Amino acid sequence: MREKLTKEKEIKNMDNQSIIVEVVKSGNRFNAFDSDGNKYTSEITTGARKKAFNNGMALERRFNKSGNQYWWAVPMSEFEKTKAPVFDVSSVEVPSDHAEVLNFIHSSYDLKPQGLVMKELKWKYLIRSAVRGKNILMTGPAGCGKTMAAKSLVNSLDRPDFYFNMGSTQDPRATLIGNVHFDKKKGTYFSESLFVKAIQTPNAVILLDELSRAHPDAWNILMTVLDQGQRYLRLDEASGQETIPVAEGVTFVATANIGNEYTSTRVMDKALMDRFIIVEMDVLNDEEELGLLKYLYPNVDPVILKSVSEIAHSTRLEANSEDGKFMSGISTRTSVEMAGLLYDGFGLDEAAEVCVYPQFDSSGGADSERTFIKQLVQKYLNDGSDENIFNEVDDEIDEDNPFDVK
CATH number at residue 121: 3.40.50.300
Both 300 and 221 in one domain: the answer is no
**pLDDT over threshold 50, residue 243:** yes
Both 109 and 197 in one domain: the answer is yes
**pLDDT over threshold 50, residue 366:** yes
Residue 342 lies in a domain: yes
pLDDT value, residue 174: 84
Residue 145 lies in a domain: yes
Q: What is the pLDDT of residues 9-52, one digit of tens each?
A: 444 444 446 789 898 886 678 888 887 667 788 889 988 999 99
Residue 86 lies in a domain: no
pLDDT value, residue 402: 40
pLDDT value, residue 393: 41
Both 149 and 77 in one domain: the answer is no
Across 298-311, average pLDDT? 90
10 Å Cβ neighbour count for 116? Answer: 16
Q: In which band, very low, low, confident or very high, does the pLDDT at 88 lie, cut at 50, 70 and 90?
A: very low
Q: What is the pLDDT of residues 254-273, one digit of tens each?
A: 888 765 444 444 567 778 88
Both 66 and 179 in one domain: the answer is no
Both 249 and 108 in one domain: the answer is yes
Q: In which band, very low, low, confident or very high, does the pLDDT at 83 lie, cut at 50, 70 and 90?
A: low
Domain count, the chain: 3
Among 192, 198, 189, 166, smallest CA distance to 177 is for 192
Both 188 and 315 in one domain: the answer is no
Both 265 and 336 in one domain: the answer is no
Distance CA 99, CA 87 (A): 10
Residue 369 lies in a domain: yes
Both 293 and 353 in one domain: the answer is yes
Both 335 and 241 in one domain: the answer is no
Residue 11 lies in a domain: yes
Residue 401 lies in a domain: no
Both 126 and 272 in one domain: the answer is yes
Q: What is the pLDDT of residues 313-350, one digit of tens each?
A: 888 888 878 777 888 888 888 888 999 999 999 999 99
Reduce the DSSP state of residue 177 to 3 states and report it. coil
Please say which residue of 259, 280, 301 terminates a domain.
280
Both 269 and 291 in one domain: the answer is no
Among 132, 164, 158, smallest CA distance to 250 is for 132
Distance CA 226, CA 325 (A): 41
Residue 254 lies in a domain: yes
pLDDT value, residue 189: 65
Distance CA 274, CA 222 (A): 13
Residue 20: which H helix or E strand, with range? strand 19-26
pLDDT value, residue 354: 93
**pLDDT over threshold 90, residue 159:** no
pLDDT value, residue 65: 81
Q: Which amino acid is at 199?
A: I
Q: In which band, very low, low, confident or very high, does the pLDDT at 394 lie, cut at 50, 70 and 90?
A: very low
Residue 73: which H helix or E strand, with range? strand 69-75
**Domain around 25:** 2-81
Q: Are 275 and 135 in contact (CB under 8 A)?
A: yes
Across 76-83, average pLDDT? 79
The pLDDT > 70 percentage for the chain reads 79
Pairing of strands 277-280, 136-139: parallel
**pLDDT over threshold 70, residue 7:** no
Q: For residue 234, what is the DSSP state?
A: E
Q: Are 175 and 283 in contact (CB under 8 A)?
A: no
Both 104 and 243 in one domain: the answer is yes
Burial (CB < 10 A; 0-12, 13-18, 19+), residue 351, is buried
pLDDT value, residue 326: 83
